[in-house]
């Protein structure tokens, strides 16, 4: 991975954690237990880290459409990030305790707003603790910064664009949920089971090894081979999941491999099924 790798090691962060242009963001979150991430942060976190909640800070309120974690208004998101000390020249390192699931969402959102100096810490808080690195319960004093968004609309796909891709051989849809949800065998969260017709399945956890660390490049290429082939052939790739969060590790993995053009369908499955006319597929493709 010869370009700047957006995934950094705990040791990399340890060496830079007190540099003034760095903001560390704790993104811990537990689906179904919305207070747990904040409680974990208040109990113990990387020194200097600020906390951003996936639902309260990094999503808009849920409406009839837009999915379970709708993207916030770019200006509102930029203002919120600015209040936590993230400005144009800030390097941001995000971590969580879910293999980078929520940290990758923040990485994607920063890039969507035009901010490239965004990173995800490999292995999350568990790897930091396993390294014997310092933790604290002290709160960082927030010094607001100016963050003016420069939105990259091309990173995003909406429901209309996804509808237009159905049956289009020039576009590959990538479903990032686990195989049983993709196949429609079970659906523990959303109102309808199945997947968007034509999508291939690449469960997001496949970009990690058994210890929860990011795969090295050869294994990552093998894991995402169908998507890479499509992109190498000049096709588009649109990645989705349940609510636009767990698709982000797949988007990040493709970015690491030199394919930053993969788009995120931010509303994802929970948005797709909010339109009764949208078709649903089950089983394997």
Which residue ranges form the domains of the chain, and what is each CATH number? 7-130 (3.40.250.10), 153-272 (3.40.250.10)
In 176-282 the beta strands, taken as DSSP E runs, fall at: 200-201, 236-240, 263-265
The predicted structure's pLDDT at residue 3: 60
Of 249, 269, 67, which Cα lies nearest the Cα of 182? 269
Q: Output the pLDDT for position 2.
A: 44
Instruction: Please report the pLDDT score of residue 34 as a whole number.
Output: 86
CB 151 within 8 A of CB 73: no
Dihedral pair phi/psi, residue 205, rounded to 5°: -70, -15
Element holding 166 (H helix, E strand): none
Answer yes or no: 27 catalytic: no
Residue 44 Cα distances to 29, 35, 133, 176, 258, angstroms: 14, 15, 12, 31, 35
CA quadruple 58, 103, 37, 11: dihedral positive or negative? negative
d(CA 261, CA 109): 15
Q: What is the DSSP letter of 170?
A: T
Identify the pLDDT of residue 31: 86
- The whole-number pLDDT of residue 285 equals 86
Low-confidence stretches of the chain (pLDDT beneath 70): 1-3
Q: How far is the C-alpha of 175 from the C-alpha of 272, rounded, in Å? A: 12
The two structure tokens encoding residue 168: 């289009």
The pTM assigned to this predicted structure is: 0.97
Of 144, 128, 129, 115, the residue nearest 50 (C-alpha): 144
Catalytic pick from 231, 241, 245, 262? 241
- Compute the distance between CA of residue 226 and CA of residue 262 in angstroms, rounded to an integer: 13
């Amino acid at each position: 991975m010869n370009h700047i790798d957006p995934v950094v090691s705990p040791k990399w962060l340890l060496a830079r954690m007190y540099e003034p242009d760095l903001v560390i963001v704790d993104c811990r979150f537990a689906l179904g237990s919305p207070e747990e991430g904040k409680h974990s942060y208040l109990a113990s976190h990387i020194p200097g880290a600020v906390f951003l909640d996936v639902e309260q800070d990094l999503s808009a309120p849920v409406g009839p459409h837009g999915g379970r974690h709708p993207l916030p208004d770019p200006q509102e998101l930029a203002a919120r990030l600015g209040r936590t000390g993230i400005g144009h020249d800030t390097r941001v390192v995000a971590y969580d305790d879910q293999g980078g699931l929520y940290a990758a969402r923040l990485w994607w959102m920063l890039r969507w707003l035009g901010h490239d100096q965004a990173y995800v810490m490999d292995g999350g808080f568990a790897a930091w603790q396993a390294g014997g690195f310092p933790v604290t319960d002290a709160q960082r004093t927030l010094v607001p910064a100016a963050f003016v968004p420069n939105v990259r609309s091309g990173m995003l796909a909406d429901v209309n664009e996804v509808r237009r891709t159905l049956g289009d051989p020039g576009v590959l849809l990538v479903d990032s949920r686990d195989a049983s949800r993709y196949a429609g065998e079970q659906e523990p969260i959303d109102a309808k089971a199945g997947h968007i017709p034509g999508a291939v399945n690449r469960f997001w956890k496949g970009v990690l090894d058994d210890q929860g660390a990011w795969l090295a490049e050869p294994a990552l290429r093998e894991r995402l081979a169908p998507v890479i082939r499509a992109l190498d052939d000049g096709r588009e790739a649109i990645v989705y999941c349940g609510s636009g969060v767990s698709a982000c590790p797949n988007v990040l993995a493709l970015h690491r491999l030199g394919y930053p053009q993969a788009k995120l369908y931010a509303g994802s499955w929970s948005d797709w099924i909010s339109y009764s006319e949208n078709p649903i597929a089950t089983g394997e493709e």
